[in-house]
Amino acid sequence: MKSSEDIAYIAGLFDGEGSIYYARRPERKKKHKGKGYRISNAQQISMEITMTDQSVLIWVHEILGVGTLRKKPRKGFRVDGTKYLMQYKWRCTFRDAYYVCCLLYPYAHTKLEKIQTIIDHYSGKIMNGKVVDLGEYKKQMSIE
């Protein structure tokens, strides 16, 4: 069960340590038949948190129930010759990112503009047989 305190904590953690990537641009893709490439309008939507404390990211993954949790490879050494700490990355994409944005929206501050962009991208589209309406979502969040 997701409590509002847990979601608010994750929103704060995401504001400080997270990143959102939203882009729509032409992309070259190899054709399946024939020679050459084709150009298509591709979109990329992702959210991630990277940090050295694995237990926090495991907790975030369990609370949200979406995304992947992986080790981020270490590269090089510090000036004093010691290895960098192992980093871990929680990441989700596309509709999972939309789901997380809807949860974090009421509590986010610094990433609010990018969260709004992802919500606007999916608003009014049919998902899982239901039409998502941002206006109704905002009304529900203000009532509860």
- Find the Cα–Cα–Cα–Cα dihedral 101, 46, 3, 131, rounded to 10°: 50
Residue 100: strand, helix, or coil? helix
pLDDT surpasses 80 at 85: yes
Distances, alpha carbon 72 to alpha carbons 47, 68, 92, 116, in Å: 15, 12, 15, 28
User: pLDDT grade, residue 11 (50/70/90)?
Assistant: very high
Chain Cα centroid distance, residue 128:
20
pTM of the entire predicted model: 0.75
Instruction: Please say whether the beta carbons of 77 and 83 come within 8 A.
Output: yes
Distances, alpha carbon 83 to alpha carbons 7, 35, 53, 70, 73, in Å: 34, 46, 16, 19, 11
Least confident of 24-28, 114-118, 130-134: 130-134
- The residue with greater pLDDT, 51 or 134, is 51
> What residue has token string 């990112």?
97
Domain 4-143 CATH superfamily: Homing endonucleases (3.10.28.10)
**pLDDT for position 2:** 84
pLDDT surpasses 80 at 120: yes
Q: Mean pLDDT over residues 2-14, rounded?
A: 94
Average pLDDT, the chain: 84
pLDDT digits (tens, 9 = 90+) for 125-135: 544 445 555 56
- The residue with greater pLDDT, 57 or 39, is 57
State the DSSP string of 75-90: -SB-TTSPBPPPEEEE
**pLDDT for position 98:** 93
**pLDDT for position 143:** 45
